[in-house]
Amino acid sequence: MSTLTQNPPTAGEKVLDFNEFMAHLKERNPGQPEFHQAVHEVAESVIPFINENPKYRRYKILERIVEPDRTILFRVTWQDDNSEVQINKGYRVQYSNAIGPYKGGLRFHPSVHLDTFKFLGFEQVFKNSLTTLPMGAGKGGSDFDPKGKSDDEVMRFCQAYMTELVRHIGKDTDVPAGDIGVGAREISYLYGQHKRLTNRFTGVLTGKSLEFGGSLIRTEATGYGAVYFAEEMLKNQGKSIQGKQCVVSGSGNVAQYTVEKILHLGGKPVTLSDSSGFIYDKDGITQEKLDWVKDLKNVRRGRISEYADKFGAEFIPGKTPWSIPGECVFPSATQNELNEEDARMLVKNGCICVSEGANMPSTPEAVKVFIQSKVLFGPGKAANAGGVAISGLEMTQNSMRLSWSREEVETKLKQIMTSIHDQCSKHAREADGYLNYVKGANIAGFIKVADAMIAYGVM
Ligand code: NDP
């Protein structure tokens, strides 16, 4: 046995200090506030655990996990419909392949920087570990904005993006998927270009259409999974979503299928949003109205304000939906969309459960309010892991060259969300009995990756 793995700590052995660790991280990674925020939240829960289990400190696991294995930055050059040459930045952060090929989505949004992909990739390490599937972590994308672009422009951009990305990915190396701004249309263009360049039909991307290797339920998985996670947290307290008013943000992939699963479980979703504001439908968003939203957002690519005109609901421009009372809350748009003041308002208005469909949508101050108020709080890395879990099952089906039925995949999704909830619960209990799922998710996600890293030795 390596001397590094011996327990207990030796007399006078130095412990890992949270403040020193964060100061060092910020010094080495300046100008990356979202990355600092994501690491801060993990380090806060994991450092006390590391100090109780000194092998993780001696192997410097946390210090190594925060450094991506590889960061790839590239230029993407393409021509718009007026034949003008356009230049965008391309990114792929291959974070960790300790427990499987790099795996995580691509985001196309004008606001992204390296900071964005480092925070998302870091979160992905723990999320993928929690799924119990053999997936490492990565994240990537571009500052390209698909909004307002023609299909031809999106196609030319995706082809140019893949022309560089192709040399860095592969079914056993790195398997990207969708995220904000990357849906079925973009994945299809990216996959087509990969196939053309390599002359191979492999499971190199997930979120593919059913005709060429996609999995049933992948489109629905993140939203459905976030609701299953909420249901698990509630079940633990003898409650359920049935009959509860639900506040949802976003109106993209995650929000749409969150609303759908809330309806299946008998809840009442009343809000949706996009970057221009939110709608409040006091009568509730029904399946019929939701189908109209899917067409609006996925086909016609319109704005959520049109919902208000169509169904006589309220549209509140420039605001997020957190002023609307709801016992269950599903932030499903983007990072830092819910702040301390929003959290206080939600708690005051009777919120008992928050399940994060988006990645890091609640600011650290908001998370503190929820935890102090003993709200059931499912952090994104646990609550939205259903999407990547079904991506993992898409990889399995591609390798086996077969497709499972809808029922089979949804049953597996449910089982995985229950298992994620149970793993988190194991490390979540505070002295007063409250289940702190933030702490639970961070520690449970950390252990599997850390133990694999130790097994490989120092590298
Ligand atoms: P989509 O692109 O389908 O939808 C994103 C939604 O969020 C849109 O309604 C969009 O509005 C809104 N939005 C995006 N950026 C902003 C912003 N800066 N301010 C206000 N609203 C914004 O993305 P997804 O639904 O796929 O992703 C949503 C979240 O879920 C992200 O945090 C993503 O990382 C996370 N996630 C997604 C997974 C997936 O499987 N797709 C898996 C796990 C997590 P508008 O159209 O006006 O921009």
- pLDDT tens sequence across 86-121: 999 999 999 999 999 999 999 999 999 999 999 999
Give the pLDDT confidence score for residue 12 in this predicted structure.
Answer: 73
Q: Is the CB of 358 under 6 A from ligand 1?
A: yes
- pLDDT tens sequence across 189-220: 999 999 999 999 999 999 999 999 999 999 99
Q: What residue owns the CA closest to ligand 1's atom 28?
A: 333
With the most atoms of ligand 1 within 8 angstroms of its CB, the residue from 334, 339, 417 to mutate is 334
Section 289-317 average pLDDT: 97
Q: What residue owns the CA closest to ligand 1's atom 48?
A: 275
Q: Is the CB of 387 under 6 A from ligand 1?
A: yes
pLDDT at 1 over 90: no
Section 140-153 average pLDDT: 97
pLDDT at 85 over 70: yes
Q: Is the CB of 251 under 6 A from ligand 1?
A: yes
Percentage above 70 pLDDT, the chain: 98
- pLDDT tens sequence across 171-188: 999 999 999 999 999 999
Nearest atom of ligand 1 to the alpha carbon of 127: 43
Nearest atom of ligand 1 to the alpha carbon of 333: 7
Residue 422, strand partner residues? none
Its pTM stands at 0.96
Nearest atom of ligand 1 to the alpha carbon of 357: 30
- pLDDT tens sequence across 230-282: 999 999 999 999 999 999 999 999 999 999 999 999 999 999 999 999 999 99
pLDDT at 9 over 90: no
pLDDT bin (cut points 50, 70, 90) of residue 7 is low
With the most atoms of ligand 1 within 8 angstroms of its CB, the residue from 180, 290, 342 to mutate is 180
The residues that are catalytic are 139
pLDDT at 446 over 80: yes
Q: Is the CB of 357 under 6 A from ligand 1?
A: yes
With the most atoms of ligand 1 within 8 angstroms of its CB, the residue from 187, 205, 274 to mutate is 274
Section 374-380 average pLDDT: 98
Q: What residue owns the CA closest to ligand 1's atom 27?
A: 180
**Domains annotated on the chain, with CATH:** 1-66+435-442 (1.10.285), 70-202 (3.40.50.10860), 220-378 (3.40.50.720)
pLDDT at 3 over 80: no
Give the pLDDT confidence score for residue 13 in this predicted structure.
Answer: 78
